[in-house]
């Protein structure tokens, strides 16, 4: 048996789904189980379960990765802005100031 937690966050709100899965379960199975729990809640989060990037303890990985006991599976939101462009804009503003 593998115990893990699937988490997702938006500004001001976080969701956490503790799971117990069969030994050898992979990240895709954890996401499917978390989705089932989330959809049965009165106010489920709006998540693109099939296409969102995911990872374990902050390291992005594929959905085929097998889970270890105690893993924290994270569902990542898309970036609101391109980080490189944001840095360029900040630098432009600083140069003008």
Q: Hey, what domains does the chain have and what are their CATH numbers?
A: 2-96 (3.10.20.30)
Q: What is the pLDDT along the chain (97 residues), one digit of tens a residue?
A: 999 999 999 989 999 999 999 999 999 999 999 999 999 888 889 999 999 999 999 999 999 999 999 999 999 998 777 888 888 989 998 888 7
**Strands in 1-97 per DSSP E:** 2-10, 13-21, 54-56, 59-60, 72-75
Quick one: pLDDT at residue 69?
Answer: 96
Cβ neighbours around 6 below 10 Å, total: 24
Quick one: pLDDT at residue 14?
Answer: 94
């Amino acid at each position: 048996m593998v115990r893990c937690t699937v988490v997702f966050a938006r500004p001001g709100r976080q969701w956490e789904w503790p799971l117990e899965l069969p030994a050898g379960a992979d990240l895709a199975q954890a996401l499917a189980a978390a989705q089932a729990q989330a959809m049965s809640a009165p106010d489920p989060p709006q998540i693109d379960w099939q296409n969102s990037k995911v990872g374990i303890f902050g390291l992005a990985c594929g959905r085929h990765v097998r889970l270890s006991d105690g893993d924290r599976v994270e569902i990542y939101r898309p970036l609101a802005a391109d980080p490189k462009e944001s840095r360029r804009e900040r630098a432009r503003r600083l140069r003008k100031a």
